[in-house]
Structure 1
Amino acid sequence: MPAMHFHVCWPDGSTEACYSPSTVIGEYLTAGEIYSLTEFTRRCSSALNEASQRVEQKYGFACSSAMDQLTRINEKSALYQGRQDAKVSVTAIAPVGPLP
């Protein structure tokens, strides 16, 4: 299963490389798009849950890395709750490459 990184820029300008164990992330997020915080977290939740289910169908167990990533996204998103202008941009989506 091809794992993917999706790179995001948070409302405070910080950036993060996030992990998806499946290409399904590309069905929920688009590189170059800007999402409201609520929409971003909703899409990530759907995508990472679906990715984990795909892993479970293939290997017989859910993907804890996908659920860990979703937890980190939800924790980071909580920092900006209540800010009407909170936007998250997806700067890139790319396959996870080999380590140098």
Structure 2
Amino acid sequence: MPEVELTLEWPDGGRSRLYSPSTVILEHLAPGQTVTVAELRAKGTLALRQASERVRARYGFACTRADEEERRLLERAAPFGDRERVGILSA
């Protein structure tokens, strides 16, 4: 499956990488977008769960790395307010 890594720029100026085992994430989060932290949590969680299910459909097991990425995304987003903005910089 084609993997995707996005670079996120957080409200504090910090950057992090978001890994997905599937391009389905690009249907939810695209380079060049700016989204609120609340949107990032919702879209990122949905996209990573869909990506994990695509792995399950193809290989017979879920992607544990997608689960870990979801946990890391939510943890990284926690200090910020729902309306603060996050930039999606690259894929």
Give the CA deviation at 1:79: 1.1
Structure 2: 5+ residue stretches without partners: none
State the one-letter code of the partner of 2:65.
S
CA distance in 2, matches of 1:36, 1:91: 14
Q: Which is richer in helix? A: 2
2:17 aligns with: 17
2:11 and 2:85 in contact (8 A); partners too: yes
Question: How far is the alpha carbon of 1:7 from its aligned partner?
Answer: 0.8
Percentage of identical aligned residues: 36
TM-score, normalization: structure 1?
A: 0.87
User: Aligned Cα RMSD in Å?
Assistant: 1.0
Query: Could you list the runs of 4 or more consecutive aligned residues of structure 1 that deviate by over 4 angstroms after TM superposition?
Result: none
Matches within 5 A, 1:1-100: 1-80=1-80, 83=81, 85-93=83-91
Secondary structure of the structure 2 residue equivalent to 1:24: helix
State the aligned residue count: 91
Structure 1 unmatched ranges of 5 or more: 94-100
